[in-house]
Chains A and B, each alone.
Chain A
Amino acid sequence: MNCNYACGSAEHNIHRRQFLGTLAAGTGAVVGGLGWFAQPAFAEQMARQQKRMLVINMHGGLSQLESWDPKPGTATGGPFRAIPTSVPGIHISELLPHTAKQMHHLALVRSLNTKNDDHGKGTYMMLTGRRQMPGQDYPQIGAVVSRALDTSTRSLPGHILITPGGGGGRSADSAYLGPKYASIVLGNGNPPQNTSLPGGLTVAAAAQQDELRRLANNRFLSRRRTAQTDAYTQSYEGAQELMRQREAFDLTKESAKDHERYGTHDFGRHCLMARRLLEKGVTFVQISHSNYDTHNENFNFHFEQLGEFDRPFATLVQDLYDRGMLENTLVVVLSEFGRTPNVNQYYGRDHWGRAWSVCLGGAGIVRGAVIGKTNDKGTEVTEREADAGHLFHTYLKALGLNSKGHFDLGGRQVLMADPAVGPIKELLA
């Protein structure tokens, strides 16, 4: 988008609608969130509350029957048993003994029907709250939250993904919110790529080089400023800030005891990194745990994967609580879909979007709640059906945002969440 700022822009001018919204709010009128985002008072309030969000994406499709909605002793239940949790009456799979002890910090939605069995579409739906449509693209929850909770004091990126592998870099997951809110990927939990000075270049020399760059840049911008040049400058400044704060990504700064508590495997390290980043003020952190697409030997692989997931996740929840952060950190454990109640010929379970579960906790969530129900065999939702859109609204509301509100993009209003649905109110504290 080329934009001549001289003619007025979203970045430099107060919008007419924003102005009217603020004015209306001041006179007691209800305006449904118009202009709320840019209000300094609101931003400061959010900064004080330090709302954050942690998503753990169980990549491939976690089996609800081996996790949050076990059906032991039924034809579809599989071999694992259910165990009691710290919340009387709530049972989860025996594969999650540590998580079971944290249940009083968490809540379950057992009635998801996303009507989708495709990995890509499921991921899109669960992270954007919308169905994937040709010609349309919506920002992922990390970008939305990063922007909606943006503050002028935030110096680290607001949207970080920790992936099991890969080199890192930047993702195209912010759609119309722009590159500033796109995720920075920490491949295998390593610091962002290219954030250390090249060998032989001193800090002083780098500063001199940067000064020269600024001079040239300012000279250019004084005559040829566009949204693109601003995005470039923003990216460059952001990268420099990352270089200055590289220590934020340095897990060696965490104690040996904490490394032991979280486990030395990748997922344990990634959870510890998530704690560190959330503590440093990063607004949104997403960890992926791979892989749950268990068409083959579902029980062996869930034993293996959840055996790795359980302790670090429970440790992270407990640490967030102990450090007073859980109150303001929304925690979500999601997948692209669940897995079939039917056990196939390879002891596997296949894709299943018709009746599955997610786990939430922390900020704005009723602790120990169980929303919805499936039938005895787990094949259908029988109570309080919900889908990805409802969850998306719920996330925003739990973070204190108006999920019916909108982003104001160059004078164009874009709704934050699917207007056809709303939050799961019973889940909101």
Chain B
Amino acid sequence: MKADPKAAHVAQEFTHDAPLITCRFDPTGRFIFATAEDRAILRWDLATGQKTVFTAHDSWVGALAFTPDGTTLVSAGYDDQLIWWPATAEKPAPVRKVKAHAGWIRALAVSKDGKQLASGGNDRVVKLWSLADGAPVREFPGHDRDVYSLLFHPSGQFLLSGDLKGQVHQWEIGSGKLARKFEGKDLHSYNGGQQVDFGGVRSLALTPDSKHLLAAGLHKATNPLGAVHEPIALRFEWESGKLLKSHISEDVKQGVLWRIIAHPDGPLIGCSGGGNGGFLLFWAADAEKPFHKFSLGNTAREMDLHPDGLQIATAHYDKKLRLTKLSPKPAAPAAAPAKKA
């Protein structure tokens, strides 16, 4: 079935005891995982709704990643640690802990062949690990500020990392050299009155044909400390590195794109959260403004797309994980005929 964004509706909700931070489907599509402000990692079985809690981190968990077969989960904490877990275990316990960074680990990515894991965070260094055994492979120093997002190029040759200053670094995995930079200047601003840097590449994505790179975050940050800013995604041509288009949403005055995904069917999906609430925004590839905006009912903080391409999970401040389906609601059962008096 082809995804129909205009038919988006929240089909299911899962609730926890603390506000949620991020979420990811496992590659098999059986589970949705989320993290929360109580330091927990949560796993819900989509079929049964059963919740399992993973606990081991000494802080919030900012990112999750899986082996391609879905058997191993890696979690990245704000406690410097990467932790390997048996993803499907009934009573999950850590199988490996690695002190990977100095400070928050904000982003993880897994290579297409499933052999390598990349991590990045507040120490401004991107690191490459063996996903199988957690052995360090290579480091990519060079970001001026915190690393916010990571993405492997499907060719296996490059790793992309986005930072607070709106820069995307393209690294050669084999040599560790910086191949080039994409300058996402619109994604960063310095507010002289408040004396703060703000923005950043909150999410990276490639279109299915790998011809375009998308870098998402926020712009028009007139009041960074007061959450006044608008969502934006920048579309770069991969070949030339040229900025082709900005995808914006002018009627969301208080929002940031926490994640951007290029749907296999074509549309671009952004997850926006902020003072205006939580939204799924849908853009056509060549359009500046979204063709559809779906309200999620509460501030969203992250998003993931199910392997079936028809379900979107969003993590929310109101402690709920919402499952939105991009297909028409099933028809309501026909009402029983009224009894005659």
Please determine whether B79 and A81 come into contact, CB atoms closer than 8 angstroms.
Answer: yes
CB nearest neighbor in A for B194: A291
List residues of chain A with CB within 8 A of the CB of B146: 303
Q: Which of B78, B193, B224 contacts A296 (CB 8 A)?
A: B224
Q: Does A301 contact B19, Cβ atoms closer than 8 Å?
A: no
**In the complex, which of the residues B38, B225, B317 contacts A295, with contact meaning CB atoms closer than 8 Å?**
B225
B237 in the interface (beta carbon within 8 A): no
Residues of B within 8 A of A209 (CB): none
Contact yes or no, B122 A291, CB < 8 A: no
- Inter-subunit contact A290/B194 (CB<8 Å): yes
Q: Complex Cα distance A78/B226, Å?
A: 19
Contact, CB under 8 Å: A296 / B122: no
Contact with B along A286-317 (1 / 0, CB 8 A): 00001101111100010111000000000000
| B197 part of interface (Cβ distance < 8 Å) | yes
The answer on a CB contact under 8 Å between A348 and B194 is no
Whether the pair A79, B227 counts as a contact (CB closer than 8 A) is no
Q: Do B19 and A343 have beta carbons less than 8 Å apart? A: yes
| Chain A residues whose CB sits within 8 angstroms of the CB of B60 once the complex forms | 78-79
Task: Mark each residue of chain B from 115 to 130: 1 if its CB lies under 8 Å from any CB of chain A, else 0.
Answer: 0000000100000000
- Residue among A75, A81, A297 making CB contact with B59, cutoff 8 Å: A81
For B38, what are the chain A residues with a Cβ–Cβ distance below 8 Å?
A: 75
Indicate whether A290 sits within 8 Å of B227 (C-beta atoms), given known contacts A79-B78, A79-B104, A343-B19: no
B317 nearest CB neighbor, chain A only: A345
Q: Quick one: given A81-B59, A296-B225, A303-B122, are A345 and B195 in contact (CB under 8 Å)?
A: no
Q: How many A-B residue pairs have CB under 8 A?
A: 69
Chain A residues with CB below 8 A from B59, complex form:
72, 79-81
A53 to B38, CA, bound (A): 41
In the complex where A343-B37, A346-B299 touch, is A81 in contact with B192 (Cβ < 8 A)?
A: no
Task: Please state if A295 and B227 are interface contacts (CB–CB under 8 Å).
Answer: yes
CB distance A301 to B225 under 8 Å? yes
Asked if B274 CB lies within 8 Å of chain A CBs, one says yes
Q: Are B226 and A296 in contact (CB under 8 A)?
A: yes
A129→B278 CA distance, assembly (Å): 43
What is the bound-complex CA distance between A266 and B225, given in angstroms?
A: 20
Residues of B within 8 A of A297 (CB): 198, 224, 227
Query: Across the interface, which residues of B come within 8 angstroms of A348, CB to CB?
Result: 227
Rounded to whole angstroms, the CA-CA distance of A165 and B58 in the bound complex is: 39
Q: List residues of chain A with CB within 8 A of the CB of B197.
A: 304
Count residues of chain A with CB under 8 A from any CB of chain B.
Answer: 26
Contact residues of B: prevailing secondary structure: loop
Judged by a CB distance under 8 angstroms, whether B235 is at the interface is no
Q: Does A338 contact B (CB under 8 A)?
A: no
Closest B residue to A95 by beta carbon equals B103
Whether B196 sits at the interface, judged by CB under 8 Å, is: yes
Q: How far is it, in angstroms, between the C-alpha of A169 and the C-alpha of B274 when the chains are bound?
A: 40
Contacts of B227 in A (CB 8 A): 295-297, 346, 348
CA A78 – CA B59 in complex, angstroms?
8
A36 to B170 alpha-carbon distance, docked (Å)? 70
A60 interface contact, C-beta 8 A: yes
Cβ of A40 < 8 Å from any Cβ of B?
no
B37 touches A60 (CB 8 A): no
CB distance from A206 to the nearest CB of B (A): 36
Q: Are B195 and A291 in contact (CB under 8 A)?
A: yes
Q: At the interface, yes or no: A400 with Cβ under 8 Å from chain B?
A: no
Instruction: Check if A187 is an interface residue, CB within 8 A of chain B.
Output: no
Interface string of B50-76 (1 = CB under 8 A from A): 000000001110000000000000000
B86 contacts the other chain (CB 8 A): no
CA distance A295 to B299 in the complex (A): 15
> How far, in angstroms, from A81 to B225 measured CA to CA in the complex?
23
Q: State whether A73 touches B79 (Cβ < 8 A).
A: no
Q: Using a CB–CB distance below 8 Å, which chain A residues touch chain B?
A: 60, 72-73, 75, 78-81, 164-165, 266, 290-291, 293-297, 301, 303-305, 343, 345-346, 348
Instruction: Give me 12 A-to-B residue pairs in the complex whose CB atoms sit less than 8 angstroms apart, sorted by A's number.
Output: A60-B194, A73-B39, A75-B18, A78-B60, A79-B59, A81-B59, A165-B195, A296-B224, A297-B224, A297-B227, A343-B19, A345-B19
Instruction: List 4 other contacts, CB 8 Å, given A293-B226, A303-B103.
Output: A73-B39, A75-B18, A165-B195, A345-B299
